[in-house]
Amino acid sequence: MIPEFEKFKRFKAKNLPKEELLAPGHRACQGCGEVLALRMAMKALGKNVIVCMATGCMEIITTPYPQTAWKVPWIHIAFENPASVASGIESAMKVLRRKGKISKKHVDILAVGGDGATSDIGLGWISGAFERGHDFTYICLDNEAYMNTGVQRSSCTPYGAMTTTSPPGKKSFGQVTWKKNVPGIAVAHNIPYVATASPAYFLDLMNKVKKAALVKGPAYIHIYSPCPTGWGSAPERSIEFAKLVVETRVFPLYEVIEGRYIMSRKITKPKPVQEYLKGQRRFRHLDEEHIAYIQQRVNADYEKLVRLSEMT
């Protein structure tokens, strides 16, 4: 068991931190699930943190110079490398503390990337940082495509989804591959803490972020983040989709603590995937056959996850 979790106090609706470390006035679209998730994560972490961010929507919308939405130290270097930048910061602080050049006080280090930054271009950098065991948290804000560049598919784009580079047509039905299991890849690095979260379950999300920060060594959190602009969904329905994705078992919530899978929310009576898919333009073209295939794979993946939680 992880000793740091013993002193961990869960957030409750009553005791949520009031301070906004990611200030309002940023330029995200209405109903943006990414910025919402990020705001909650920042509330959970508090002031004592350094944020390293990948190029992407969140970087662009929070820092059009001379403005910044960040009330904590924040750095952006490039698209694929926030995990390496975090490695550098963590190493620097370790040695500077040892040499008595900075305060001994612990500072949390957070790296943030979108699904493109995480599952595609930055995967090797993240793998390196996990393998080296730096004490930091990596959050993937997964809106299931490269949104900042105009909705191109990533390897986290769900099967069948329409993007500008996976368009449905006479010879295509949209994204042809199944979503890459990035949390599984993180687990394979034997890091102490991995979790999935959705902003609809905000207390769960915040508690997971806090635990990730408390843990010594690398932690990974994969956060499902609705993007009305990229998905063709109503901005006011973002939270609803963030809930439906869990209730349909499409995006199960779980933790993996030192290799042990723990279901955060068991979905005993799942809603059909169709309920989640409808209302999003990116899935509108899918026929029954494809939807049936999605249902079948969602069932299989969920069962596998339950088996893992029973086995470990």
Partner 1 sequence: MAKRVGIEVSIALAEAVKLANVDVIPAYPITPQTHIVEHLSEVVANGELDAEFVLVESEHGAMSCCCGSSAAGARTFTSSSAQGLLLMSEILFIPGPMRFPIVMAVVNRALSAPISIWNDHQDIMSQRDIGWIQTFADTGQEAFDLMLHAFRVAEDRRVSLPMIVNIDGFTLSHVVEAVELLSQEEVDQYLPPFKPRYRLDPRKPITMGPVGIPEIYSEAKVAHNEALKASKKVILQGWKEFADLFGRQYNPIETYRSEDAEVLLVTMGSISETAMTAIDTMRDKGQKAGLVKIRLWRPFPGPEFRKAAGKAKILAVVDRCLAPGAICGPVGAELRSLFYKVPGAPKIFNFIAGLGGRDVTVGRFEEMVDKALVFAKKRPKELYEVIGVREK
Ligand X SMILES: Cc1ncc(C[n+]2csc(CCOP(=O)(O)OP(=O)(O)O)c2C)c(N)n1
Of 69 and 215, CB closest to ligand SF4: 69
Q: Which does 280 bind (CB under 5 to 8 A by kind): partner 1, ligand SF4, ligand X, none?
A: none
The two tokens of residue 160 are 């069948």
Residue 124: enclosing H or E segment and its boundaries?
helix 123-132
- The angle formed by the CA atoms of residues 255, 273 and 186, to the nearest 5 degrees, is 25
Which residues of the shown chain bind partner 1 in the complex (CB under 8 A)?
A: 47-50, 52, 59-60, 63-66, 68, 70-78, 80-81, 84-96, 98-99, 101-102, 107, 124-125, 127-128, 131-132
Number of CB atoms found within 10 A of residue 137's CB: 26
- Report d(CA 151, CA 116) in Å as an integer: 11
229 binds ligand X (CB under 6 A): no
DSSP code of 291?
H
199 binds ligand SF4 (CB under 6 A): no
Which among 113, 142, 122 has a CA at the least distance from the CA of 51? 113
Residue 229 CB, nearest distance to Mg ion (Å)?
Answer: 11
Residue 179 CB, nearest distance to ligand X (Å)?
Answer: 13
Residue 227 CB, nearest distance to ligand SF4 (Å)?
Answer: 3
Instruction: With contacts defined by CB under 6 A, name the span among 26-34, 78-86, 200-208, 292-300 that binds ligand SF4.
Output: 26-34
Of 55 and 137, CB closest to ligand X: 55
- Report d(CA 19, CA 74) in Å as an integer: 17
Judge whether 252 and 263 are in contact, CB under 8 Å: yes
- Candidates 11, 21, 22, 28; binder of ligand SF4 (CB under 6 A) is 28
The two tokens of residue 133 are 């065991």
- Candidates 37, 50, 54, 57; binder of ligand SF4 (CB under 6 A) is 57
Which among 230, 191, 200, 195 has a CA at the least distance from the CA of 210? 195
Judge whether 145 and 151 are in contact, CB under 8 Å: yes
Q: Which does 44 bind (CB under 5 to 8 A by kind): Mg ion, ligand X, ligand SF4, none?
A: none
Of 113 and 168, CB closest to ligand X: 113
114 binds Mg ion (CB under 5 A): yes
The two tokens of residue 181 are 């299991």
Residue 77 CB, nearest distance to ligand X (Å)?
Answer: 11
DSSP per position, 184-238: HHHHTTT-SEEEEE-TTSHHHHHHHHHHHHHSSS-EEEEEE---HHHHT--GGGH
Where along the sequence are the contacts to ligand SF4 (CB under 6 A)?
A: 28-29, 32, 34-35, 57, 61, 143, 147, 227-230
Give the footprint of ligand X on this chain (CB under 6 A). Answer: 34, 55-58, 79-80, 113-117, 141, 143, 146-149, 154
